[in-house]
Amino acid sequence: MKLNNNSIIIISGEPYSVFFELFFKTLTNKEIKNYNKPLILIGSKNLLIKQMKKLKYSFKIRVIDENLINKIKLDNKKINLIDVKFNFKKTFDKISIKSSNYIENCFLKGIQLIKKKIGIALINGPISKKHFLNKKFPGVTEYLGSKFNKRQHEVMLIYNEKLSVSPITTHLPLKDVNKKITKKKIVHNVKLINNFYIKKLNFKPRFAVTGLNPHCETHEKFNEEDKIIKPAIKHLFKKKIFIDGPFPADTIFLKKNLKKYDVIIGMYHDQVLTPIKTIFGFNAINVTLGLPIIRISPDHGPNNQMLGKNKSNPQSLKKALNFLKKIRAN
C-alpha cells in the first residue's frame, strides 16, 4: 500500500478568493485539528504566507515535492503544501484573467496526483467561471469531466445529510435546457447517485423527481413529463430504485414532502440549487460523481468583495472534510 493514499487533495483555486481565509479558519476548528487523513494543499507558498500574516493566523508549512510524496509519511501538524509559483503584486487584489495560468497549474498538479492514485478525494476552492473557464466549459464540474475523459458522465450532487439535490442539466441557459433532457441522462444520473449512496454512505436513498414545466403541464405538443421524465422514472422503478414523480418544483420542497425523500432530482440548475441553498445555506457541499475520484467544492463562490476582511463563513469547507471522514474508502 502506498503512503498517503488516503490523503485529501485540496486545490486552492482563485488566488484572490476567500479560500485561504476559510482554510485557516477550518484548521483552527476542534473537529479538524485531529483530522484522520493527511491534507495536501496545492497553491502559492508566498501568497499563503502573506495572507496568513495579514489575517493574523500562524501555521507551520511543510513544502513537499509531488514526485517524492510516497517517500514521506504525512500528518496535519503542518500545512502540507505543493508550491505553485504565482507572480503577484498585491496580497489582496481583484479577480482577473491574470490568475488563469496559476489556477490551471494547480489543477494539473492535483489531477497528476489523482492519476498516481494518491489520495481518496479532491477538494477545490472557488474559481471565476468568467475568467478561468472563459466559455470553454460551463463549470468546474464539466472542466474536470473533460480532464478525466469523462465528459457527459459527470453528475453534480449538492449534498446535505438531511436532503440532497441534483440537476439533470447544470450550467445552461434556460432556453437550452429542454434540448438536453433525455431519458438516458436521467437514468444515468439517478443510477450513479444511487450507487454512491449505497457504496459510500451505506444506505439506499429515496428519490423524488421534478417536472420541467410549471405544474408538470404544458400546452405545447411535446410534453417532457410524458415523453421523457415519466418513462425514465418507470424504468428506474423497475430496477428496484425507490423513486417518485414527476412533482411540480414549486411544492416538492414543502416540509411535509422533504421528510419522504433523501435526494431531489431537478431538470435544471436553479430549479433545485436555489431552494437547497435557501434551506441549508453554507451547510451543504457540491459533490461531483462519475470521476475516478470524489470531487467536492465547498458551496460558496470566490466572494472577492470580502477578501481580506476575515469575516467569511468556513462551514461548507468544514462540512466537506467531515463528509470525507465518514465515507467508505472502497
Q: Which segments within 248-309 are labelled E, that is strand?
A: 263-266, 285-289, 294-298
Could you tell me what percent of the chain has a pLDDT over 70? Answer: 97
Mark whether 191 and 295 lie in a shared domain: no
Round to whole Å and give the CA distance between 240 and 236.
Answer: 7
* pLDDT at residue 305 in the model: 86
* pLDDT at residue 322 in the model: 87
Mean pLDDT, residues 231-260: 94
State which residues form the domain around 251.
157-285
pLDDT class of 1 with cuts at 50, 70, 90: very low
- The β-bridge relationship of strands 155-159 and 285-289 is antiparallel
Reported as a single tens digit per residue, the pLDDT across 190-238 is 999 999 999 999 999 999 999 998 888 777 777 899 999 999 999 999 9
Mark whether 127 and 183 lie in a shared domain: no
Could you tell me the CATH number of the domain that includes residue 177? Answer: 3.40.718.10
Round to whole Å and give the CA distance between 56 and 63.
Answer: 21
Burial (Cβ within 10 Å: 0-12, 13-18, ≥19) of residue 92 = middle
Mark whether 81 and 49 lie in a shared domain: yes
Mark whether 1 and 138 lie in a shared domain: yes
Mark whether 269 and 305 lie in a shared domain: no
Q: At residue 109, does pLDDT exceed 50? A: yes
- From 285, 305, 322, the end of a domain falls on 285
Task: Look at phi and psi of residue 28 and say left if phi exceeds 0, alpha if psi is from -120 to 50, else beta.
Answer: alpha
Mark whether 16 and 138 lie in a shared domain: yes
* pLDDT at residue 25 in the model: 93
Residue the block writes with cell 458551496:
299
Round to whole Å and give the CA distance between 208 and 206.
Answer: 7
Mark whether 89 and 75 lie in a shared domain: yes
Pseudo-torsion of CA 202, 203, 209, 210, nearest 10°?
Answer: -80
Mark whether 148 and 297 lie in a shared domain: yes
* pLDDT at residue 7 in the model: 87
Mark whether 3 and 148 lie in a shared domain: yes
Q: How far is CA 213 from the centre of its chain?
A: 27
Domain total in the chain: 2
* pLDDT at residue 142 in the model: 83
Mark whether 300 and 280 lie in a shared domain: no
Mark whether 301 and 258 lie in a shared domain: no
Reported as a single tens digit per residue, the pLDDT across 139-189 is 888 888 888 888 778 899 999 999 999 999 988 889 999 999 999 999 999
Mark whether 169 and 45 lie in a shared domain: no
